[in-house]
């Protein structure tokens, strides 16, 4: 038979929950209370939830007004301490929502428009590992950087991966689990590995399903 929690167990659990709720509120990073972090720009009403994932080189990040970054999100520019001069390397626009556990990892430039929504555990990067030097471990080879642009109004489904060199137009919906590389036009649904256009708005013809190859 399962043991019923004692009064002490219940009091301890309640105290832990109260402390955790307090930490989640007090641990948020906002423009009014950024703590030790110094962003290039952190707009009014923007908030990074507690607990964070990795966060470094935030002085090369600009986050727009009203954007919410969920719990456990990693925002990383280059390597800790790397100097990018006056450049903004990660830009996240206004009114965005970055789902919990997502990663945005930049070495050149990642530009995310306004009103972009990430599901949980989305991964966006602008760098590929090198792998062509046969006598060097892949993790020690120089990477190849290609900028990423995600247009206004996009939706990135849970677990999707946005690879270097990708450009998404406005209001592109990315299906869960898609692996995306390349350029995609406004107002389309993409999905698959590798991702391709599944449906596309074509003006007077409305939305059309794309024929399979």
Torsion of CA 194, 200, 202, 208, to 10 degrees: 110
Contact 178, 190 (CB under 8 A): yes
* CA atoms within a 13 Å half-sphere pointing along the CA-CB vector of 192: 9
From the list 188, 185, 190, 193, the residue with the least C-alpha distance to 175 is 190
Cα–Cα distance for residue pair 168/175, rounded to 1 Å: 13
From the list 121, 113, 194, the residue with the least C-alpha distance to 149 is 113
Contact 191, 212 (CB under 8 A): no
Which DSSP state fits 12? H
Among the listed residues 41, 107, 129, 187, the single catalytic one is 129
Copy the structure tokens of residue 185. 């036009």
Contact 87, 115 (CB under 8 A): no
For this structure, is 129 an active site residue? yes
**Residue 102, C-beta contacts closer than 8 angstroms, at least 6 positions apart:** 70, 73, 74, 118, 120, 121, 122, 123, 124
Known catalytic residues?
A: 129
């Amino acid at each position: 038979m399962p043991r019923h929690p004692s009064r002490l167990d219940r009091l301890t659990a309640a105290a832990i929950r109260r402390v955790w709720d307090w930490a989640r509120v007090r641990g948020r990073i906002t423009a009014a209370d950024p703590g030790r972090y110094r962003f290039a720009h952190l707009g009014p009403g923007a908030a990074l939830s507690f607990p964070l994932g990795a966060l470094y080189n935030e002085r090369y990040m600009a986050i727009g007004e009203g954007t919410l970054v969920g719990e456990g999100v990693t925002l990383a520019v280059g390597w800790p301490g790397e100097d990018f001069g006056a450049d903004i390397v990660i830009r996240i626009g206004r009114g965005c929502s970055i789902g919990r556990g997502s990663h945005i990892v930049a070495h050149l430039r990642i530009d995310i428009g306004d009103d972009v929504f990430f599901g949980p555990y989305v991964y966006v990067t602008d760098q590929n590992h090198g792998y062509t030097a046969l006598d060097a471990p892949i993790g020690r080879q120089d990477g190849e950087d290609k900028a990423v642009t995600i247009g206004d109004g996009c939706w990135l489904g849970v677990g999707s991966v946005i690879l270097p060199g990708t450009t998404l137009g406005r209001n592109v919906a990315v299906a869960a689990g898609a692996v995306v590389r390349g350029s995609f036009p406004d107002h389309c649904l993409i999905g698959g590995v590798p991702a391709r256009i599944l449906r596309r708005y074509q003006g007077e013809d409305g939305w059309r399903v794309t024929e399979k190859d």
